[in-house]
Structure 1
Amino acid sequence: MATVARTAGLAPATLYRHFPSRAALTAAVFTGDLEGCATLVEEALADTDPRRGLVMLLDEVAKQQIQNRAFADAFLGQAPALPAFDALRRRTLDLLGDLVRRAKASGGLREDFSPGDVFVMLYANRGFAAMPQESAERASNRLTALFIEACFIQPRALQKA
Protein backbone atom coordinates (compact mmCIF):
# COMPACT_ATOMS: atom_id res chain seq x y z
CA MET A 1 0.00 0.00 0.00
CA ALA A 2 2.90 2.36 0.74
CA THR A 3 4.26 1.82 -2.78
CA VAL A 4 0.86 2.51 -4.32
CA ALA A 5 0.49 5.68 -2.25
CA ARG A 6 3.97 6.86 -3.22
CA THR A 7 3.39 6.10 -6.91
CA ALA A 8 0.09 7.99 -6.80
CA GLY A 9 1.73 10.92 -5.02
CA LEU A 10 -0.41 10.45 -1.93
CA ALA A 11 0.32 10.15 1.72
CA PRO A 12 -0.33 6.59 2.95
CA ALA A 13 -2.98 7.93 5.34
CA THR A 14 -4.90 9.41 2.39
CA LEU A 15 -4.86 6.09 0.57
CA TYR A 16 -5.98 4.23 3.71
CA ARG A 17 -8.86 6.70 4.24
CA HIS A 18 -10.26 5.73 0.85
CA PHE A 19 -9.17 2.08 0.85
CA PRO A 20 -8.85 0.65 4.36
CA SER A 21 -7.28 -2.58 3.12
CA ARG A 22 -5.40 -4.03 0.19
CA ALA A 23 -8.53 -6.00 -0.73
CA ALA A 24 -10.57 -2.79 -0.86
CA LEU A 25 -8.01 -1.15 -3.14
CA THR A 26 -7.84 -4.21 -5.36
CA ALA A 27 -11.63 -4.37 -5.58
CA ALA A 28 -11.75 -0.70 -6.60
CA VAL A 29 -9.16 -1.24 -9.32
CA PHE A 30 -10.65 -4.40 -10.79
CA THR A 31 -14.37 -3.67 -10.42
CA GLY A 32 -14.37 -1.11 -13.21
CA ASP A 33 -12.38 -3.42 -15.46
CA LEU A 34 -14.65 -6.39 -14.80
CA GLU A 35 -17.71 -4.22 -15.39
CA GLY A 36 -16.10 -3.12 -18.66
CA CYS A 37 -15.72 -6.77 -19.66
CA ALA A 38 -19.36 -7.45 -18.87
CA THR A 39 -20.44 -4.42 -20.88
CA LEU A 40 -18.44 -5.54 -23.92
CA VAL A 41 -19.99 -9.00 -23.81
CA GLU A 42 -23.47 -7.47 -23.41
CA GLU A 43 -22.88 -5.22 -26.44
CA ALA A 44 -21.66 -8.17 -28.50
CA LEU A 45 -24.68 -10.24 -27.46
CA ALA A 46 -27.04 -7.37 -28.34
CA ASP A 47 -25.80 -7.31 -31.94
CA THR A 48 -28.37 -8.92 -34.24
CA ASP A 49 -25.53 -10.67 -36.09
CA PRO A 50 -23.81 -13.02 -33.63
CA ARG A 51 -20.74 -13.32 -35.86
CA ARG A 52 -20.27 -9.56 -35.97
CA GLY A 53 -20.85 -9.38 -32.22
CA LEU A 54 -18.24 -12.04 -31.48
CA VAL A 55 -15.71 -10.48 -33.86
CA MET A 56 -16.27 -7.08 -32.22
CA LEU A 57 -15.77 -8.63 -28.80
CA LEU A 58 -12.57 -10.42 -29.81
CA ASP A 59 -11.14 -7.30 -31.43
CA GLU A 60 -12.01 -5.09 -28.49
CA VAL A 61 -10.78 -7.35 -25.69
CA ALA A 62 -7.48 -7.86 -27.54
CA LYS A 63 -7.07 -4.08 -27.87
CA GLN A 64 -8.02 -3.50 -24.26
CA GLN A 65 -5.54 -6.14 -23.18
CA ILE A 66 -2.67 -4.32 -24.87
CA GLN A 67 -3.71 -1.00 -23.33
CA ASN A 68 -4.68 -2.17 -19.86
CA ARG A 69 -3.31 -5.35 -18.31
CA ALA A 70 -5.82 -5.14 -15.43
CA PHE A 71 -8.69 -5.29 -17.96
CA ALA A 72 -7.34 -8.52 -19.38
CA ASP A 73 -6.72 -9.98 -15.95
CA ALA A 74 -10.31 -9.18 -15.03
CA PHE A 75 -11.59 -10.75 -18.26
CA LEU A 76 -9.39 -13.82 -17.82
CA GLY A 77 -10.69 -14.28 -14.30
CA GLN A 78 -7.39 -13.42 -12.70
CA ALA A 79 -8.75 -10.54 -10.73
CA PRO A 80 -8.39 -11.40 -7.05
CA ALA A 81 -10.92 -13.81 -5.65
CA LEU A 82 -13.10 -11.29 -3.91
CA PRO A 83 -16.76 -11.93 -3.16
CA ALA A 84 -17.76 -8.72 -4.94
CA PHE A 85 -16.52 -10.16 -8.23
CA ASP A 86 -18.06 -13.61 -8.15
CA ALA A 87 -21.55 -12.72 -9.39
CA LEU A 88 -20.28 -10.31 -12.03
CA ARG A 89 -17.65 -12.79 -13.24
CA ARG A 90 -20.24 -15.59 -13.48
CA ARG A 91 -22.67 -13.31 -15.30
CA THR A 92 -19.99 -12.27 -17.80
CA LEU A 93 -19.04 -15.90 -18.49
CA ASP A 94 -22.71 -16.86 -18.89
CA LEU A 95 -23.20 -14.06 -21.41
CA LEU A 96 -20.09 -15.16 -23.30
CA GLY A 97 -21.52 -18.69 -23.42
CA ASP A 98 -24.79 -17.30 -24.80
CA LEU A 99 -22.91 -15.37 -27.49
CA VAL A 100 -20.97 -18.47 -28.53
CA ARG A 101 -24.17 -20.55 -28.69
CA ARG A 102 -25.85 -17.88 -30.84
CA ALA A 103 -22.88 -17.73 -33.20
CA LYS A 104 -22.89 -21.53 -33.54
CA ALA A 105 -26.64 -21.58 -34.14
CA SER A 106 -26.23 -19.05 -36.94
CA GLY A 107 -24.00 -21.58 -38.67
CA GLY A 108 -20.95 -19.38 -38.85
CA LEU A 109 -18.89 -20.53 -35.90
CA ARG A 110 -17.00 -23.82 -35.74
CA GLU A 111 -18.92 -26.45 -33.77
CA ASP A 112 -15.87 -27.24 -31.64
CA PHE A 113 -15.40 -23.58 -30.59
CA SER A 114 -15.94 -22.96 -26.89
CA PRO A 115 -15.91 -19.86 -24.69
CA GLY A 116 -12.58 -21.14 -23.37
CA ASP A 117 -11.08 -20.49 -26.81
CA VAL A 118 -11.49 -16.76 -26.18
CA PHE A 119 -9.23 -17.20 -23.16
CA VAL A 120 -6.70 -19.14 -25.27
CA MET A 121 -6.49 -16.17 -27.64
CA LEU A 122 -6.11 -13.72 -24.76
CA TYR A 123 -3.39 -15.78 -23.11
CA ALA A 124 -1.52 -15.81 -26.44
CA ASN A 125 -2.11 -12.08 -26.87
CA ARG A 126 -1.03 -11.29 -23.31
CA GLY A 127 2.68 -11.37 -24.04
CA PHE A 128 2.38 -8.52 -26.50
CA ALA A 129 1.58 -6.11 -23.68
CA ALA A 130 5.28 -6.11 -22.74
CA MET A 131 6.28 -4.89 -26.21
CA PRO A 132 6.47 -1.25 -27.31
CA GLN A 133 2.92 0.03 -27.92
CA GLU A 134 3.04 0.24 -31.72
CA SER A 135 4.60 -3.21 -32.11
CA ALA A 136 2.19 -4.65 -29.57
CA GLU A 137 -0.82 -3.29 -31.43
CA ARG A 138 0.38 -4.66 -34.78
CA ALA A 139 1.14 -8.09 -33.35
CA SER A 140 -2.15 -8.19 -31.45
CA ASN A 141 -4.16 -7.16 -34.52
CA ARG A 142 -2.46 -9.89 -36.57
CA LEU A 143 -3.05 -12.58 -33.95
CA THR A 144 -6.69 -11.55 -33.56
CA ALA A 145 -7.29 -11.59 -37.33
CA LEU A 146 -5.76 -15.06 -37.65
CA PHE A 147 -7.73 -16.32 -34.65
CA ILE A 148 -11.01 -14.98 -36.04
CA GLU A 149 -10.34 -16.53 -39.43
CA ALA A 150 -9.62 -19.89 -37.79
CA CYS A 151 -12.81 -19.82 -35.71
CA PHE A 152 -15.36 -19.20 -38.38
CA ILE A 153 -16.52 -21.59 -41.06
CA GLN A 154 -15.64 -20.30 -44.51
CA PRO A 155 -18.25 -20.60 -47.25
CA ARG A 156 -17.37 -23.48 -49.61
CA ALA A 157 -16.67 -21.04 -52.46
CA LEU A 158 -13.89 -19.46 -50.36
CA GLN A 159 -12.31 -22.70 -49.16
CA LYS A 160 -9.29 -23.97 -51.00
CA ALA A 161 -9.68 -27.34 -52.65
Structure 2
Amino acid sequence: MTSVTSITPEDRPLRRDAERNRQRILDAARELFAEEGLRVTLDAVAARAGVGVGTVYRRFADKEALIDALFEARMDEVVEIAQRALACDDPWAGVVLFFDEAMELHVADRGLKELIFSTAHGRERVAGARERIKPVVTQVVERAKASGQLRADFQTTDVPILQLMLTAVMEYTGDTDPRVWRRCLVLMLDGMRAEPGARTPLPCTALSDGQLDAAMARGLSSAPRR
Protein backbone atom coordinates (compact mmCIF):
# COMPACT_ATOMS: atom_id res chain seq x y z
CA MET A 1 0.00 0.00 0.00
CA THR A 2 1.43 3.37 -1.04
CA SER A 3 1.56 5.99 1.63
CA VAL A 4 0.52 9.55 0.85
CA THR A 5 2.32 12.42 2.53
CA SER A 6 -0.16 15.09 3.44
CA ILE A 7 0.60 18.76 3.77
CA THR A 8 -0.24 19.95 7.23
CA PRO A 9 -1.39 23.51 8.00
CA GLU A 10 2.01 24.04 9.64
CA ASP A 11 3.78 23.17 6.36
CA ARG A 12 1.88 25.66 4.25
CA PRO A 13 3.24 28.83 5.88
CA LEU A 14 6.77 27.43 5.57
CA ARG A 15 6.25 26.82 1.86
CA ARG A 16 4.75 30.26 1.40
CA ASP A 17 7.73 31.78 3.20
CA ALA A 18 10.13 29.84 0.99
CA GLU A 19 8.38 31.07 -2.16
CA ARG A 20 8.39 34.65 -0.89
CA ASN A 21 12.11 34.41 -0.21
CA ARG A 22 12.72 32.97 -3.66
CA GLN A 23 10.83 35.86 -5.26
CA ARG A 24 12.71 38.41 -3.15
CA ILE A 25 16.00 36.85 -4.29
CA LEU A 26 14.92 36.96 -7.97
CA ASP A 27 13.75 40.57 -7.68
CA ALA A 28 17.00 41.62 -5.97
CA ALA A 29 19.14 39.80 -8.55
CA ARG A 30 17.17 41.33 -11.43
CA GLU A 31 17.77 44.82 -10.07
CA LEU A 32 21.46 44.27 -9.31
CA PHE A 33 22.27 42.55 -12.61
CA ALA A 34 20.52 45.38 -14.48
CA GLU A 35 22.43 48.03 -12.52
CA GLU A 36 25.89 46.46 -12.19
CA GLY A 37 26.09 43.53 -14.59
CA LEU A 38 26.91 39.90 -14.00
CA ARG A 39 29.86 40.57 -11.69
CA VAL A 40 27.37 40.87 -8.80
CA THR A 41 27.98 38.30 -6.07
CA LEU A 42 25.41 36.15 -4.34
CA ASP A 43 26.36 37.90 -1.10
CA ALA A 44 25.25 41.19 -2.67
CA VAL A 45 22.02 39.58 -3.89
CA ALA A 46 21.32 38.27 -0.38
CA ALA A 47 21.93 41.70 1.14
CA ARG A 48 19.61 43.42 -1.36
CA ALA A 49 16.93 40.75 -0.80
CA GLY A 50 17.21 41.02 2.99
CA VAL A 51 17.94 37.31 3.46
CA GLY A 52 20.96 35.33 4.54
CA VAL A 53 23.33 34.07 1.85
CA GLY A 54 22.54 30.52 2.98
CA THR A 55 18.94 31.12 1.93
CA VAL A 56 20.14 32.11 -1.54
CA TYR A 57 22.21 28.93 -1.86
CA ARG A 58 19.26 26.80 -0.75
CA ARG A 59 17.22 28.22 -3.65
CA PHE A 60 20.01 28.44 -6.25
CA ALA A 61 23.07 26.20 -6.28
CA ASP A 62 25.30 28.92 -7.76
CA LYS A 63 25.17 32.19 -9.69
CA GLU A 64 24.73 30.38 -13.01
CA ALA A 65 21.48 28.84 -11.74
CA LEU A 66 20.26 32.29 -10.74
CA ILE A 67 21.22 33.72 -14.14
CA ASP A 68 19.33 30.86 -15.81
CA ALA A 69 16.21 31.64 -13.80
CA LEU A 70 16.30 35.33 -14.73
CA PHE A 71 17.49 35.64 -18.29
CA GLU A 72 15.54 33.02 -20.20
CA ALA A 73 12.58 35.42 -20.17
CA ARG A 74 14.78 38.32 -21.28
CA MET A 75 16.10 36.29 -24.20
CA ASP A 76 12.50 35.59 -25.12
CA GLU A 77 11.94 39.36 -25.27
CA VAL A 78 14.78 39.79 -27.79
CA VAL A 79 13.34 37.04 -29.99
CA GLU A 80 9.88 38.62 -29.74
CA ILE A 81 11.31 42.00 -30.85
CA ALA A 82 12.89 40.34 -33.89
CA GLN A 83 9.61 38.61 -34.73
CA ARG A 84 7.70 41.90 -34.56
CA ALA A 85 10.37 43.51 -36.74
CA LEU A 86 9.86 40.75 -39.31
CA ALA A 87 6.09 41.31 -39.20
CA CYS A 88 6.38 45.01 -40.13
CA ASP A 89 4.81 45.82 -43.49
CA ASP A 90 7.79 48.05 -44.36
CA PRO A 91 11.07 46.05 -44.30
CA TRP A 92 13.12 49.12 -43.42
CA ALA A 93 10.79 49.93 -40.52
CA GLY A 94 11.49 46.41 -39.27
CA VAL A 95 15.24 47.04 -39.24
CA VAL A 96 14.74 50.30 -37.34
CA LEU A 97 12.35 48.68 -34.86
CA PHE A 98 14.75 45.84 -34.09
CA PHE A 99 17.76 48.07 -33.46
CA ASP A 100 15.76 50.60 -31.46
CA GLU A 101 13.92 48.19 -29.16
CA ALA A 102 16.76 45.70 -28.71
CA MET A 103 19.08 48.56 -27.74
CA GLU A 104 16.51 49.80 -25.23
CA LEU A 105 16.75 46.42 -23.51
CA HIS A 106 20.55 46.54 -23.45
CA VAL A 107 20.58 50.08 -22.07
CA ALA A 108 18.11 49.20 -19.32
CA ASP A 109 19.76 45.91 -18.35
CA ARG A 110 23.52 45.72 -18.15
CA GLY A 111 23.41 42.05 -17.24
CA LEU A 112 21.42 41.18 -20.38
CA LYS A 113 23.94 43.08 -22.50
CA GLU A 114 26.84 41.18 -20.93
CA LEU A 115 25.05 37.87 -21.36
CA ILE A 116 24.34 38.38 -25.05
CA PHE A 117 27.76 39.78 -25.95
CA SER A 118 29.85 37.39 -23.87
CA THR A 119 30.38 33.66 -23.42
CA ALA A 120 31.73 33.97 -19.89
CA HIS A 121 28.43 32.91 -18.31
CA GLY A 122 26.63 29.80 -19.53
CA ARG A 123 28.24 29.24 -22.94
CA GLU A 124 25.71 26.62 -24.02
CA ARG A 125 22.75 28.70 -22.88
CA VAL A 126 24.01 31.85 -24.63
CA ALA A 127 24.84 29.92 -27.79
CA GLY A 128 21.34 28.45 -27.77
CA ALA A 129 19.76 31.88 -27.36
CA ARG A 130 21.84 33.29 -30.21
CA GLU A 131 20.75 30.42 -32.43
CA ARG A 132 17.12 31.31 -31.66
CA ILE A 133 17.66 34.99 -32.44
CA LYS A 134 19.88 34.71 -35.52
CA PRO A 135 17.42 33.12 -38.01
CA VAL A 136 14.77 35.77 -37.35
CA VAL A 137 17.24 38.65 -37.53
CA THR A 138 18.64 37.17 -40.75
CA GLN A 139 15.15 37.29 -42.25
CA VAL A 140 14.76 40.92 -41.14
CA VAL A 141 18.08 41.77 -42.81
CA GLU A 142 17.50 39.81 -46.03
CA ARG A 143 13.99 41.19 -46.48
CA ALA A 144 15.27 44.77 -46.22
CA LYS A 145 18.06 44.00 -48.68
CA ALA A 146 15.62 42.40 -51.14
CA SER A 147 13.42 45.50 -50.96
CA GLY A 148 16.39 47.65 -51.97
CA GLN A 149 16.31 49.62 -48.72
CA LEU A 150 19.30 48.10 -46.91
CA ARG A 151 22.73 48.14 -48.55
CA ALA A 152 23.44 44.87 -50.32
CA ASP A 153 26.75 44.19 -48.57
CA PHE A 154 25.22 44.31 -45.07
CA GLN A 155 25.42 40.97 -43.24
CA THR A 156 23.59 39.52 -40.23
CA THR A 157 26.89 39.31 -38.33
CA ASP A 158 27.12 43.11 -38.59
CA VAL A 159 24.11 43.42 -36.28
CA PRO A 160 25.71 42.34 -32.95
CA ILE A 161 28.88 44.29 -33.78
CA LEU A 162 26.90 47.48 -34.33
CA GLN A 163 24.93 46.83 -31.15
CA LEU A 164 28.20 46.35 -29.28
CA MET A 165 29.43 49.69 -30.64
CA LEU A 166 26.27 51.41 -29.41
CA THR A 167 26.53 49.85 -25.96
CA ALA A 168 30.11 51.18 -25.74
CA VAL A 169 28.79 54.65 -26.59
CA MET A 170 26.21 54.27 -23.84
CA GLU A 171 28.88 53.17 -21.34
CA TYR A 172 31.08 56.17 -22.11
CA THR A 173 28.44 58.89 -22.45
CA GLY A 174 25.56 57.75 -20.24
CA ASP A 175 26.49 60.07 -17.37
CA THR A 176 27.22 62.99 -19.70
CA ASP A 177 24.16 62.76 -21.95
CA PRO A 178 22.12 59.52 -21.98
CA ARG A 179 20.68 60.39 -25.42
CA VAL A 180 23.97 60.21 -27.31
CA TRP A 181 23.63 56.53 -28.15
CA ARG A 182 20.35 57.36 -29.88
CA ARG A 183 22.09 60.06 -31.92
CA CYS A 184 24.67 57.47 -32.98
CA LEU A 185 21.92 54.97 -33.79
CA VAL A 186 20.27 57.45 -36.18
CA LEU A 187 23.61 58.22 -37.87
CA MET A 188 24.31 54.50 -38.16
CA LEU A 189 20.89 53.64 -39.62
CA ASP A 190 21.15 56.43 -42.21
CA GLY A 191 24.52 54.99 -43.22
CA MET A 192 23.02 51.51 -43.62
CA ARG A 193 20.52 52.61 -46.26
CA ALA A 194 21.07 51.35 -49.79
CA GLU A 195 20.25 54.74 -51.29
CA PRO A 196 20.72 58.10 -49.58
CA GLY A 197 17.48 59.85 -48.83
CA ALA A 198 16.20 62.58 -46.57
CA ARG A 199 18.34 62.58 -43.47
CA THR A 200 16.65 61.49 -40.25
CA PRO A 201 16.54 64.31 -37.65
CA LEU A 202 19.01 63.70 -34.86
CA PRO A 203 17.49 63.35 -31.37
CA CYS A 204 20.09 65.49 -29.60
CA THR A 205 23.06 67.76 -30.26
CA ALA A 206 26.60 66.46 -30.44
CA LEU A 207 28.71 66.52 -27.28
CA SER A 208 30.68 69.66 -26.62
CA ASP A 209 34.46 69.41 -26.33
CA GLY A 210 34.14 69.48 -22.55
CA GLN A 211 31.49 66.76 -22.52
CA LEU A 212 33.60 64.62 -24.83
CA ASP A 213 36.59 64.98 -22.52
CA ALA A 214 34.43 63.95 -19.55
CA ALA A 215 33.06 60.93 -21.42
CA MET A 216 36.52 59.80 -22.49
CA ALA A 217 37.88 60.23 -18.97
CA ARG A 218 35.04 58.13 -17.59
CA GLY A 219 35.76 55.39 -20.10
CA LEU A 220 39.46 55.36 -19.31
CA SER A 221 38.83 55.28 -15.55
CA SER A 222 36.53 52.25 -15.90
CA ALA A 223 38.85 50.29 -18.19
CA PRO A 224 40.38 47.14 -16.63
CA ARG A 225 43.95 47.54 -15.49
CA ARG A 226 46.65 45.10 -16.59
| TM-score, normalised via structure 1 length | 0.83
Q: For the residues of structure 2 that align with 1:30 and 1:78, how far apart are their CA atoms? A: 14
Instruction: Determine which structure has more spread, i.e. the larger CA radius of gyration.
Output: 2
RMSD: 2.4
Aligned position for 1:61? 102
Aligned position for 2:14? none
**Do residues 122 (structure 1) and 159 (structure 2) align?**
no
Mean CA deviation greater in 74-83 or 110-119: 74-83
Say if 2:119 and 2:126, in contact at 8 Å, map to a contact too: no
- In the TM superposition, 1:22-101 aligns within 5 A as 22-76=63-117, 78=119, 80-101=121-142
Q: For the residues of structure 1 that align with 2:156 and 2:75, how far apart are their CA atoms? A: 17
CA gap of 1:96–1:151, structure 2 versus 1, over 3 A, is same
Identity across matched positions, percent = 27
Could you tell me which amino acid in structure 1 is paired with residue 46 of structure 2?
A
Could you tell me which amino acid in structure 1 is paired with residue 102 of structure 2?
V
Say if 1:37 and 1:92, in contact at 8 Å, map to a contact too: yes
More helix by percentage: 1
Long gaps (5+) in structure 1: none
Aligned position for 1:17? 58
Aligned position for 2:47? 6
Q: For the residues of structure 2 that align with 1:57 and 1:134, how far apart are their CA atoms? A: 26
CA gap of 1:21–1:141, structure 2 versus 1, over 3 A, is same
Could you tell me which amino acid in structure 1 is paired with residue 89 of structure 2?
T
Could you tell me which amino acid in structure 1 is paired with residue 75 of structure 2?
L
Deviations 1:82-125 (A, max 9, x none): 54444332011111111111111111110111122222222211
| TM-score, normalised via structure 2 length | 0.61
CA gap of 1:28–1:79, structure 2 versus 1, over 3 A, is farther
Name the structure, 1 or 2, with higher relative contact order (CA <8 Å, separation 6+): 1
Mean CA deviation greater in 121-130 or 37-46: 121-130
Q: For the residues of structure 2 that align with 1:114 and 1:43, how far apart are their CA atoms? A: 20
